Amino acid sequence: MSTRVNPELRHELREFGAEDVDACFNCGNCTAVCPLSRDSTVFPRKIIRYLQLGLKDKLLQSPEPWLCYYCGECSETCPRQANPGELMMAMRRYLTSQYDWTGLSKRLYLSKAWEIGMLLVVGLFIAALFYFLHGPMVTERVELNTFAPVVWVELGDWIMAGILSFLLLSNAYRMYRFVMRDEDGIRIPPALYIQELTTLIVHGLTQKRWSECETPTRWVKHLLLVFGYVTMFLLVVVFLRWFQTDEIHPLWHPTRVLGYFATAVLLYVTADAIVSRLRKREEIHKHSHPTDWMFLILLFLTALTGIVVHILRLGGFPLSTYYMYVIHLMIAVPMLVIEVPFGKWAHLAYRPLVIYLMRVKERAHEAAAVPAVAA
Ligand code: SF4
Ligand code: SF4
């Protein structure tokens, strides 16, 4: 199979954050120290080489950028300060934009105007929906469900979840097509995809491969964050009828306990990451793409405005509660629209998906008695 060279690739990647590509002289130190590199999936040196040579097709087929959890050990040991960890991060951004068939991911990664514009458009759309369609504003007491009937909010939740799931799954399907191209021509029995589903679920929920890095505290924080996301998703989508009520539940009620847990986790982990990026002490936080900031700030504000709505409701401030509720959704909805199919949350889906697909491929190779050789 012929290999096409794209001389523009390194320039394209620079816009995604890969600034030190030429500094690398291919010594291989980074691969030697990487705790996650394996014989079957060797990185990061090989991937940086693809980038230097402009081998775009090889890069698109490579699962390795998704197997890096950005511990930063390679960047600390690189004799040329080529920052391989950040190069792998830039490649994940680039690949996300390449999997996305709408082209929006690329625009959002490369243009602040597009990102801010899309946030504004979606946010103003939410504001317009409430302006024209909100229910009566009871001012004697807080009646959030009269102002924003839970059945309508729930319907909006499910419509949004359907659209975003479709976009994410269709992009994930394109990723599958890229990384499962097999030049050895091995046929993969469909049963293997089913047998390995537990790999997908376990890695999707725990991202446990990260624990093999020498910085397990970051994995624990990430795990907490995932539990926070999942808990909040369940509360505001699946169990919204029990979560958004006008009745003040006792402190020990499951929806309050879980809501406080998810909010505390989201606030703590995002604030911690923001401070770390400002200090630039940790290797992984020395370089920040504008989209990294946007993600953290939006997630922090979503959690903050959510808890402020709750406090205002407990305090018995009707109008403030209604206005803050709209502001909360004007932040939360655009964040989900941007991040789930086109940004950071897509990364969260692509990592376990690649681990799962690599496991399926490995088993197919084992069954065919052909060693799974790295591309
Ligand atoms: S990134 Fe640094 S450590 Fe890795 S191969 Fe290049 S020069 Fe060597
Ligand atoms: S950041 Fe960590 S996991 Fe990623 S390539 Fe470097 S050493 Fe490996």
Q: DSSP character for 41?
A: S
Task: Report the alpha-carbon distance of residue 100 to residue 173 in Å, rounded.
Answer: 10
Which residue from 205, 204, 256 is spatially nearest to 235, judged by alpha carbons? 256
Task: Report the alpha-carbon distance of residue 75 to residue 88 in Å, rounded.
Answer: 10
pLDDT at 223 (0 to 100): 87
Predicted confidence (pLDDT) per residue in 311-350, tens digit: 999 999 999 999 999 999 999 999 999 999 999 889 989 9
Residue 372 has pLDDT above 60, yes or no: no
Q: Whose CA is nearest to atom 6 of ligand 1?
A: 24
Task: Report the alpha-carbon distance of residue 148 to residue 144 in Å, rounded.
Answer: 6
pLDDT at 219 (0 to 100): 85
Q: Give 155's contacts (C-beta < 8 A, 6+ positions apart).
A: none
Q: Nearest ligand to the C-alpha of residue 66?
A: 2
Q: Whose CA is nearest to atom 2 of ligand 1?
A: 78
Quote the ligand 2 centre to 157 CA distance (angstroms). 37
Q: Whose CA is nearest to atom 5 of ligand 1?
A: 26
Task: Report the alpha-carbon distance of residue 1 to residue 246 in Å, rounded.
Answer: 64
Quote the ligand 1 centre to 86 CA distance (angstroms). 12
Domain 9-99: CATH superfamily is Alpha-helical ferredoxin (1.10.1060.10)
The overall average pLDDT reported for the chain is: 91
For the record, the structure tokens of 13 come out as: 């990647």
> Quick count: other Cβ atoms within 10 Å of Cβ 2?
4
Full-model pTM: 0.90
Angle between helices 150-179 and 84-99 (to 10 degrees): 110
For 17, the 3-state DSSP assignment is coil
Q: Nearest ligand to the C-alpha of residue 89?
A: 2
Q: What sections of the chain are H helices per DSSP?
A: 9-15, 29-33, 45-53, 56-61, 64-67, 73-77, 84-99, 104-110, 112-133, 144-147, 150-179, 190-195, 197-206, 216-233, 240-243, 254-279, 290-315, 318-342, 344-367
For 152, the 3-state DSSP assignment is helix
Predicted confidence (pLDDT) per residue in 10-25, tens digit: 888 999 998 888 899 9
Length, in residues, of the chain = 375
Task: Report the alpha-carbon distance of residue 291 to residue 84 in Å, rounded.
Answer: 19
* One-letter amino acid for residue 291 of the chain: T
* Numbered ranges of CATH 1.10.1060.10 in the chain: 9-99
Looking at the chain, the whole-number percentage of residues with pLDDT higher than 70 is: 96
* One-letter amino acid for residue 33 of the chain: V
Quote the ligand 1 centre to 107 CA distance (angstroms). 30
